[in-house]
Amino acid sequence: MTPTTPSSGHTHSGNAATLRSTAAPDTTGTDALAGQTVVLRPTGAQHVDAFMAILQHPEVAKWWGGYDLERVRRELLGPNSYAIELAGEVIGLIIFHEENDPDYRHAGIDIALHPDAHGQGLGADAMRTLVRYLFGRRGHHRIVIDPAASNARAIRSYERVGFRPVGVMRQYERGSDGTWHDGLLMDLLRDEFRG
């Protein structure tokens, strides 16, 4: 996964796919996004403890290393971050970044679920929900994700949503063991999305 640098200046526009019932445009970045089962909730200070618990679990930390309190606050509470809720409980987090050079415009996503929630299709549900928002409301035509090449469950989950492997990026990221690991670049075009 790619460390996220939330783009500044982006706000979530109000839309019918959100949980808000008001028709007025929302420029405050406070809209929740409803999935089939999960809800993506804009983040705030109340999410820090849950995010820390998720990211420090060994099953997650091996893919999302190096997150301490300071980094969670800096990188995961921005306007492009959501808590993944299941029946009102925080079970994960999902974030996006945007490349807004018009000639290379695309978005990228990172996601982590608490291990108690793995393998039930909830990751795919959260991913579809954010993908729908990025294609439908933010006007993207291409979305990328870059799991470790050895992260078979993540790759399978992203394939369920429609992402395709582009290629292996050799020695792409440094793991918590200090060595360089291969990453798999995957992308999804708007026309291919199985929303």
Ligand X SMILES: CC(C)(COP(=O)(O)OP(=O)(O)OC[C@H]1O[C@@H](n2cnc3c(N)ncnc32)[C@H](O)[C@@H]1OP(=O)(O)O)[C@@H](O)C(=O)NCCC(=O)NCCS
Q: Which residues bind ligand X (CB under 6 A)?
A: 1, 60, 63-64, 111-113, 118-124, 147, 151-154, 156-157, 160
Output 20 or 57, the one with its CB closest to ligand X.
Answer: 57
Output 50 or 122, the one with its CB closest to ligand X.
Answer: 122
* Cβ 80 vs Cβ 10: under 8 Å: yes
Look up residue 60 and give its two tokens: 């997650």
| Cβ at position 49, least distance to ligand X in Å | 18
| Cβ at position 159, least distance to ligand X in Å | 8
Output 39 or 111, the one with its CB closest to ligand X.
Answer: 111
Output 14 or 63, the one with its CB closest to ligand X.
Answer: 63
User: To 5 degrees, how large is the angle CA 98–CA 64–CA 186?
Assistant: 50
Q: Which amino acid is at 2?
A: T
| Cβ at position 140, least distance to ligand X in Å | 19
- For 8-76, give the DSSP string: TT--PPP-TTBS----S---SS---EE-SS-EEEE--GGGHHHHHHHHHSHHHHTTS----HHHHHHHH
| Cβ at position 115, least distance to ligand X in Å | 7
Residue number, nearest CB to ligand X: 123
